[in-house]
Structure 1
Amino acid sequence: MAISAAQVKELRDRSGAGMMDCKKALAETDGDIEAAVDWLRTKGLAAAAKKSGRTAAEGLVGVAVDGTKGAVVEVNSETDFVAKNEKFQEFVGQVAELALQADGDIEKLKGMQMASGGSVEEVLTDNIATIGENQSLRRTVTVAVNEGVIVSYVHNAVATNMGKIGVLVALESSADSAALEALGKQIAMHIAAANPQALDADGLDPELIAREREIAKAKAIESGKPENIAEKMVEGGIAKFKKENALLSQLFVIDGKTPVADVIAAAGKDAGAEIKLTAYERFQLGEGIEKEESDFAAEVAAAAGQ
């Protein structure tokens, strides 16, 4: 019998299984939703629905580079234990490679086909049922240059090109690629350590600046200084904040004294060609996710039926 899109959607909502699995289940059960749910459960594919509400703040960040283009992805799980699972690591690596063609579009990436068969989203759903934890493909970004290099770096890598902090650096230049790679690696390490909020001061979030201004005002008022002095204190504080949080004006962590912009300029002079840092991306696992605090004793009591 013909299976409608509405039936597939309803079954997906009920079971949490992937689209292709839902289609197959409905075909096997002549469109009977309840029977299809049972069919999915017998295959272990409906288990994902029960896990989908649990917080997934662990997992891995994966990076991939192909020529002048790079991609970074974050795939979350509930526990750090899953990050050590070979199947999970293989999935993250494959998704990072596919992300090179997704151009930062998370929905496009979810729909892309994996070599093993099925879309990224469908394979992820199957992994949830197999591994037994909620998992999610949270975000992805790509960066590219017309000429030059994209350099990737993973801090404390747990496997090739994946770990808890992933960085991409885009260097636009006609300089020798080996020299650019070496410079890019150092800058990427700096970014991992210093966590800049933008490439330059103009790129800093206006809301972030406004919040810092309010903090500086409060400090100036508490100091009891005259208004004209207090205003200078506020502007001085904002200038300092911008300098410390914009990548190009940060002091290079490797020597602790040279602004990153000057490091790049010096490298360009040595290479005999201008080097421009046009973009960067830094993904830190779980940033922005509120982790649920669990009461282990209560969980044990609940499991025991108390």
Structure 2
Amino acid sequence: MANITAALVKELREKSGAGMLDCKNALTETEGDIEAAIDWLRAKGLARAAKKSGRVAAEGLVAVAVEGTKGVVIELNAETDFVARNDQFQALARTVADVALKVGGDAAAVGAAPFPQGGTVSEAITAAIATIGENIALRRVDGLSVSEGVVAAYLHNAAGEGLGRIGVLVGLESTGDKDELNALARQIAMHVAATNPVALDAAGVPEETIAREKAILLEKNAGKPAHVLEKIAESGLKSYFKEVTLLEQPFIHDTSKSVSQAVKESEGKIGAPVRLVGFIRYGLGDGVEKEETDFASEVAAAAGAA
């Protein structure tokens, strides 16, 4: 048996772009032959997949899956919008969402979970990278559940069943009529998709966000007495919470009332008290810095190199 040294693994990794463990396995299978190991990795789709792993994946799809009183939303990224229309990619996104619904947890836990067609979710994604030809990544996973009531989903810019560019889950706790609950939850989910609230209520707004907003208010009114500044900041933050917290926002389906008022007024039709437990909103590529490319310059550079 060949001696597979760390230096040999490092050399193969640099030549192939594959992961350390994959390189070690390849060298073990080929008894330390670098060139044969590269062919082994390519045959498995690992070298090709790894080489693409540095490219920015900010397109793709958001997928949701709901069953009973729980739901999940995932973001599966690719490099181009074109791939999001690929049947294989769409099937992969749906299946990953279904797996996430069963196993729960974060993206790492879902990635390590068994994939229905064999292997793990991560391995299925690696295989898809090799066949589709773009970097693909399971960026994030989140779930929502209620003890009794409904979890409803809404997808904006839908690309197919359970798929879209914005995915929202809303949970309502109640013992009332499930059909009416679902209808209300879906309306609220549409509202969340449109307004992108920061939190459910003021208590859920991060402290650093509140501090930043207060600092802005104080700076705008610099020079006024301290006691006046405090009142201005207090009033300004109340207005801010009405703008960014779900329960206080004007309901897009009837702006004469807040979301919390709409929920309260729905109780007569639903036949029981209703509590809005929470929401999750995924917008495709939120927070991802897309690499800006100058296509004309790329063509010119390519022509110059030819």
The TM-score with structure 1 as length reference comes to: 0.90
Change (3 A) 1:114 1:38: same
CA distance in 1, matches of 2:153, 2:237: 31
The equivalent residue for 1:288 is 287
* Contact 2:248/2:260 (<8 A) preserved: yes
Q: CA RMSD in A?
A: 2.8
1:35 correspondence with 2:48: no
Instruction: Tell me which amino acid in the other structure corresponds to 1:88.
Output: F
Change (3 A) 1:141 1:15: farther
Instruction: Tell me which amino acid in the other structure corresponds to 2:293.
Output: S
CA deviation vs aligned residue, 1:158-196 (integer Å, no higher than 9, x gap)? 111111100001111111110111001100000000111
Instruction: Tell me which amino acid in the other structure corresponds to 2:208.
Output: E
The equivalent residue for 1:154 is 155
* Contact 1:18/1:125 (<8 A) preserved: no
The equivalent residue for 2:247 is 248
1:75 correspondence with 2:76: yes
CA distance in 2, matches of 1:278, 1:42: 49
The equivalent residue for 1:200 is 201
1:298 correspondence with 2:277: no
Instruction: Tell me which amino acid in the other structure corresponds to 1:244.
Output: E
CA distance in 2, matches of 1:277, 1:33: 59
Structure 2 counterparts to residues 5-154 of structure 1, below 5 A: 15=16, 25=26, 28-30=29-31, 32=33, 34-154=35-155
Give secondary structure in 2 for the equivalent of 1:289.
Answer: coil
CA distance in 2, matches of 1:176, 1:211: 42
Change (3 A) 1:261 1:147: same
* Contact 2:19/2:50 (<8 A) preserved: no
Cα deviation, residue 296, structure 1: 1.1
Cα deviation, residue 28, structure 1: 4.2
Structure 2 residues not aligned, in runs of 5+:
none
Judge which range, 263-272 or 250-259, deviates more.
Answer: 263-272
Change (3 A) 1:115 1:265: same
Change (3 A) 1:297 1:264: same
Aligned residues: 304
* Contact 1:15/1:48 (<8 A) preserved: no
Instruction: Tell me which amino acid in the other structure corresponds to 1:274.
Output: P
* Contact 2:177/2:271 (<8 A) preserved: no
* Contact 2:62/2:283 (<8 A) preserved: yes
Change (3 A) 1:35 1:65: same
Structure 1 residues not aligned, in runs of 5+:
none
Give secondary structure in 2 for the equivalent of 1:143.
Answer: strand
CA distance in 2, matches of 1:270, 1:294: 54
CA deviation vs aligned residue, 1:54-74 (integer Å, no higher than 9, x gap)? 111111000001111100000
* Contact 2:151/2:171 (<8 A) preserved: yes
CA distance in 1, matches of 2:262, 2:11: 57
CA distance in 2, matches of 1:10, 1:143: 45
* Contact 1:166/1:284 (<8 A) preserved: yes
Cα deviation, residue 273, structure 1: 0.6
Give secondary structure in 2 for the equivalent of 1:146.
Answer: coil
CA distance in 2, matches of 1:173, 1:2: 64
* Contact 2:58/2:288 (<8 A) preserved: yes
The equivalent residue for 2:276 is 277
4+ residue runs of structure 1 moved beyond 6 angstroms? 1-4, 6-14, 18-24
CA distance in 2, matches of 1:7, 1:48: 21
Cα deviation, residue 25, structure 1: 4.3
The TM-score with structure 2 as length reference comes to: 0.90
Judge which range, 173-182 or 265-274, deviates more.
Answer: 265-274
Percentage identity across aligned positions?
A: 54
Instruction: Tell me which amino acid in the other structure corresponds to 1:218.
Output: E
CA distance in 1, matches of 2:24, 2:109: 21
Give secondary structure in 2 for the equivalent of 1:304.
Answer: helix
Change (3 A) 1:269 1:134: same
* Contact 2:18/2:51 (<8 A) preserved: no
